[in-house]
Amino acid sequence: MDIRVRALETLLIDKGYVDPAALDELVDTYEHRVGPHNGARVVARAWTDPTYRAWLLADATAAIGSDEGFGFSGRQGEHMVALENTPQLHNMVVCTLCSCYPWPVLGLPPVWYKSAPYRSRAVIDPRGVLADFGLQLPTQTEIRVWDSTAEIRYLVLPMRPDGTDGWSEEQLAKLVTRDSMIGTGVALTPQALAAQQAST
């Protein structure tokens, strides 16, 4: 695959169809500038700022993408919807058709998100999929699965973990994992974060 991509890239550049500088810019964007760290900042602000949280839930596109919000805009983020998790309701996102994913806040999708088993089982047996991810939710918690459409991209707003009173937005953002914003996980507890930091 690498060789095929390289051959295609060389051919397109030789023929003058693409500018290598533009390709470098794209790679740099998706390697460094967009990623789950963006979504984590959105979630952390929603946890600490009730006004922002209300805005995010009412108009996620503006709260995330506008200059007054975070300015995280671009392809695959034109129509955003935020889904709030509660003790009663857990939201989980899939694209059953392909791999639609909110790039500006989460970066590029993980391989499993694009896989046929995830895409089919997420809607047939969401609780089983969550168990595969090591997540056991209380049986009384409803799981709602959201199928991305051709335009809409979802961001799950996970529940704020206990024991984080008084934490800054920056500290809280460290608890927000990519999977917690897809709904295949929950935010880290302070203990889990400490254990993770100790092991790296």
Which amino acids are annotated catalytic?
Answer: 95, 98-100
Q: How far is the CB of 28 from Fe ion (least distance, A)?
A: 25
**For residue 95, how many other CB atoms are within 10 A of its CB?**
21
Q: How far is the CB of 99 from Fe ion (least distance, A)?
A: 5
Q: Which is nearer to Fe ion, 93 or 187 (CB)?
A: 93
- Interaction residues for Fe ion, span 88-147 (CB under 5 A): 95, 97-98, 100
H-helix or E-strand spanning residue 192: helix 190-199
Q: Which is nearer to Fe ion, 60 or 100 (CB)?
A: 100
CB under 5 A: which stretch of 40-48, 87-95, 156-164, 180-188 binds Fe ion? 87-95
Q: Would you state the structure tokens that stand for residue 143, as one six-digit string?
A: 């799981």
Q: Which is nearer to Fe ion, 11 or 97 (CB)?
A: 97
- Chain residue whose CB lies nearest Fe ion: 100
- Which residues, at least 6 apart from 39, have a Cβ–Cβ distance to it below 8 Å? 102, 105, 106, 155, 176, 178, 181
Q: How far is the CB of 183 from Fe ion (least distance, A)?
A: 16
Q: Which is nearer to Fe ion, 40 or 100 (CB)?
A: 100
Q: How far is the CB of 151 from Fe ion (least distance, A)?
A: 10
Q: Is 34 exposed, middle or buried (0-12, 13-18, 19+ CB in 10 A)?
A: buried
CA distances from 5 to 8, 29, 99 (A): 5, 19, 20
What is the size of the binding site for Fe ion (CB under 5 A)?
A: 4
Residue 175 to residue 180: CA distance in whole angstroms: 9
Q: Would you state the structure tokens that stand for residue 118, as one six-digit string?
A: 């995830």
Which parts of this chain interact with Fe ion (CB under 5 A)?
95, 97-98, 100
